[in-house]
Structure 1
Amino acid sequence: MTRILSKQYFDNPDFPFYAGYYVIAPGEAIAEHSHEFTELAYVSEGSGEHSYNHGDYYAIRAGDVFLIEPDMVHAYRVGSAGKLVICNVLFMPSLLKNELITMSSVTPFVDFFYVEPFLRNNARFVSRLSLRTSQQLEIGSILDKLIAEQNIRSLGYQTMIKTSMIQLFISLSRYYQQMGRPKEAFPDEQGLQMIVDFIHRHYAQPLTLEQISHICGMSASVFSSKFKMYTGRTFIEYRNEIRLNIAQEAILDTDDKIATIAQNVGFDDLSFFNKQFKKKTGVTPGQLRKKQTYDFIF
């Protein structure tokens, strides 16, 4: 299976962004593949089928919009009488790091950007964002502007692209909220295991207890009680343990600065990160790295 790398699309590693149209011809199939970046796919014309995370194929048509998260496997196929035109917006989350943090405080954005791709793993979850004609016109206009800014590269084009990306995600979040998707109902154990999987995938994001409990349709208090019974830890304790484990690996395996590692795993307060890290490991991040260097030399 092919894994597409960022360098195949991003000519500037400091601005990891690409947008463009891709035509899938009648009878053509795009084999299962994954990529190390996020992909926003908008079906601008035609119809076909899409498979996500080794799941069954489901029909897609003009106006459908969906996110493909990094390293998730997906594929397309089109019938002999069909044709599919997709506008792909490819980017690394780091491109909009601060903006994503801000937008993550808004539940409709969380639902569209994080929850919908995650729940798409569940075969019973068939809801996705399908735009009405007027909405297609607005989103098409934003996408065309993104592509034009990318291709012409006039003064300030990177700022214009980021601004249009924010406009795109806010508009799509509004449409997703208006769609009024039904809440999924899961048995407690299945729902809690899904949340555990979700936290492992999005540990670095600034998601709140209220947003996490919203995913499985529980109040914050009920979710907190059941989550602690299931895992032995509170949501915050569980998430921070994952963050600290990932940080410890990065300290030992990379030369990244401690402050950079802390931010990458979701800690914006370096002092708090150091305190939590020492509480867990018995040493500070700096002491761990020095000890590793000493052990390597001797």
Structure 2
Amino acid sequence: MIENLVGLHETVNYRKDMQIRLHNNDVCENYPPHWHTPFELIMPTESGYSVHCGEKEYVLDEGDIIIICPGVIHELFSPPKGVRIIFLVSLAQIDLQELDLVISMISPAILISPEKFPQIHAQIHRLMLEIRDEYFRNLPYTESSIYAKFLEILVLVGRCYAEIAQHNFEAKNNKQQEYMEKFLFICNYINEHYAEPLSLEEVASLAGFSKYHFTRLFKQYADTTFYKYLNQKRIAHAKHLLVDKNLSVLDISLQCGFSNLSSFLRMFRKLTGFTPTELRKMYDGDF
């Protein structure tokens, strides 16, 4: 299934003139650690499957769905028999500020099962089957239809998280809408300014909250802390810059908003499990 692998980087062979690829995979084969730029969604339709992302193992039963974010190193383990949908889709051409908030919620991956997400599992399961069927029908507007279904999956996940956050905060409806709009604005602001020396106090003031109130709300709405969200953006950018051999690790750390090299190295290892030099060697297949 992995057709073009250099080091850890897989170049996906998309369907002609599209940014999607789908395998109805029945091959009994494990796939080594790799990463790629599109999202990857896996749903076993017969038997189970196992996925490792970083230090976490996700065990999928038949009908479960895992969504793996772009740029995440992952490894796949197949049972002796089974079939699973493996769907890859790039959103590089789509610019939606809400998308970054959803990615922060599910990063590095999220497992959708009936037990963990009873509110949305059946709908996402249905959408995955529809995406598979649409892919192999080869009708006009196939790509548009598949993108619409994938975006619906992300909307279901995002709204599910938002409902959980709103329930936990117990705000009135008008406040819920106000807070959500503010946090979409804040996440967009971070996405545009993450390479600058942002502080929690500065961004909280921009949102019109005290830093303590902001910290609580950010955790509820983004399902992560402000600094973790900020550092995820910085390290994700750093991973892309490492491909350029002309940039030193120090140059990359400064371009990604870190004030010193030691803090960059510490955060990079914490979020990826590797040093920048190790990951750069893996990209080239030299590690």
TM, length-normalised to structure 1: 0.47
Larger Rg: 1
